[in-house]
């Protein structure tokens, strides 16, 4: 039964996303260049906003043209931007190959003040912000504050070009994985964290370490999901790819949205996820997330679907 297409009867959850917001400077394979707001956590917040979740984004952007563009982009999708202004807005140089896949170079300074941030019903963290100091310590403190009180989701979204101390980052990532309820990682993340190891074996080990749900996206091969009682694979949805910018973030947002629809929020989040023992129901959640990502890759940049766009398309 597809319950993800109905609006929740309960009050709208307070969703807090924490992480970097920046401007992507995209160099395409045809030689063209354009600038657009981005950043993995910001993309997740944007996608949640378009799905009707009105999230808060705790981030660090400057009071400069780039920062004003990022803020306007987010607020247009009903995202509330929080955080002390930075000296400048960070940038990411993205180079797209002929298949639309992106590689990145970053100019980033990440710091936040989280002591006065109110506790949410759902907390999402990820990417650079979870590992780059000085902000990473504040992110970890927010996770600790939300443990047992909120749905906690984490996307490692490893950026090797920003990492100087591989072992330290790996320890931090694995510590966050143990404390989160839901993990969404890419096959590239797994390969960086556990070189040469089988992806399914890693996902099972992560599942045993604490998370109630582990999902590994496999590009054109779909995704693998592991929960304590079973695992399943969901195929990718075939589309003509324009670029992959924001695809994983859209998948993450749609998964969070689907879990919230199933009541996985607040202090009952972990128990509710654990009760989703129906492989058919989990398959519906994952197919819906894949559909959202497919919409995003079919158009340029991080341009996730609205709830109406997503629900207008049947699940493949």
**Domains in the chain and their CATH numbers?**
15-311 (3.40.1190.20)
The alpha helices in the chain, defined as continuous H runs, are: 40-50, 65-75, 135-146, 166-179, 187-193, 199-209, 247-261, 269-274, 279-297, 307-311
pLDDT surpasses 70 at 3: no
74 band by pLDDT with thresholds 50, 70 and 90:
very high
pLDDT surpasses 80 at 5: no
User: DSSP strand E in 7-121: where?
Assistant: 15-18, 22-27, 33-38, 56-58, 80-82, 91-96, 102-107
315 band by pLDDT with thresholds 50, 70 and 90:
low
Of 29, 17, 163, nearest to 94 by C-alpha is: 29
- How far apart, in whole angstroms, are the C-alpha atoms of residue 218 and residue 245? 15
State mean pLDDT over 27-31.
81
Contact 123, 53 (CB under 8 A): no
Of 264, 91, 242, 248, nearest to 182 by C-alpha is: 264
pLDDT surpasses 90 at 18: yes
pLDDT surpasses 50 at 9: no
- How far apart, in whole angstroms, are the C-alpha atoms of residue 215 and residue 206? 10
- How far apart, in whole angstroms, are the C-alpha atoms of residue 233 and residue 226? 9
State mean pLDDT over 257-263.
95
Burial letters for 174-194: b for 16+ Cβ neighbours within 10 Å, e otherwise? eebbebbbbbbbbbbbbebbb
281 band by pLDDT with thresholds 50, 70 and 90:
confident
Structure tokens at 254: 């749609």
State mean pLDDT over 234-243.
87
State mean pLDDT over 93-116.
82
For residue 124, the surrounding DSSP H or E stretch is strand 122-126
94 band by pLDDT with thresholds 50, 70 and 90:
confident
11 band by pLDDT with thresholds 50, 70 and 90:
low
Strand-pair partners of 94: 26, 104
- How far apart, in whole angstroms, are the C-alpha atoms of residue 285 and residue 139? 27
- Number of residues that this document lists for the chain: 316
Q: How far is CA 31 from CA 245, 271, 301, in A?
A: 17, 50, 16
- Residue whose entry in the numeric block shows the structure tokens 């030689």: 31
pLDDT at residue 243 in the model: 80
Cis ω for the linkage preceding 134 (within 30 of 0): yes
Of 129, 119, 163, nearest to 21 by C-alpha is: 129
pLDDT surpasses 80 at 100: no
Most confident region among 18-32, 88-102, 155-169, 191-205 by mean pLDDT: 191-205
Which of the pair, 316 or 69, is modelled with greater confidence?
69
SS3 159: coil
DSSP string, 160-215: GGG-S-HHHHHHHHHHHHHH-SEEEEEHHHHHHHSTT--HHHHHHHHHHHS-SEEE
Across the chain, what does the average pLDDT equal? 90
State mean pLDDT over 146-151.
96
pLDDT surpasses 90 at 131: yes
Burial letters for 238-273: b for 16+ Cβ neighbours within 10 Å, e otherwise? eeeebbbbbbbbbbbbbbbbbbbbbbbbbeebbebb
State mean pLDDT over 208-233.
94
Burial letters for 300-315: b for 16+ Cβ neighbours within 10 Å, e otherwise? bbbbbbebeebbeeeb
């Amino acid at each position: 039964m597809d319950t993800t297409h109905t609006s929740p009867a309960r009050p709208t959850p307070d969703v807090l996303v924490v992480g970097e917001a920046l401007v992507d400077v995209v160099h395409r394979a045809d030689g063209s260049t354009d600038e657009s707001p981005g950043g993995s956590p910001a993309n997740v917040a944007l996608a949640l906003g378009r799905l009707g979740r009105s999230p808060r984004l705790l981030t660090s952007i400057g009071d400069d043209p780039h920062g004003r563009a990022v803020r306007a982009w987010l607020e247009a999708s009903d995202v509330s931007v929080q955080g002390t202004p930075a000296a400048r807005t960070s940038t990411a140089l993205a180079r797209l190959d002929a298949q639309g896949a992106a590689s990145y170079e970053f100019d980033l300074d990440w710091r936040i003040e989280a002591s006065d941030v109110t506790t949410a019903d759902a907390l999402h963290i990820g990417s650079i912000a979870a590992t780059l100091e000085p902000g990473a310590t504040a992110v970890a403190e927010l996770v600790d504050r939300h443990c047992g009180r909120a749905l906690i989701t984490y996307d490692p979204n490893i950026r090797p070009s920003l990492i100087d101390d591989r072992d330290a980052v790996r320890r931090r990532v694995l510590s966050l994985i143990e404390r989160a309820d839901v993990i969404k990682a890419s096959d590239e993340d797994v390969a960086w964290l556990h070189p040469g190891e089988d992806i399914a074996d890693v996902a099972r080990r992560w599942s045993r370490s604490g998370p109630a749900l582990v999902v590994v996206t496999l590009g054109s091969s779909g995704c693998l999901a592991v929960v304590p009682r079973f695992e399943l694979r969901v195929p990718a949805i075939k589309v003509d790819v324009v670029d992959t910018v924001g695809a994983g973030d859209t998948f993450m947002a749609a998964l969070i949205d689907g879990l919230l629809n199933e009541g996985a929020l607040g202090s009952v989040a972990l128990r509710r996820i654990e009760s989703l023992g129906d492989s058919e129901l989990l398959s519906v959640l994952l197919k819906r997330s894949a559909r959202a990502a497919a919409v995003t890759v079919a158009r340029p940049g991080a341009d996730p679907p609205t709830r109406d766009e997503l629900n207008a398309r049947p699940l493949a």
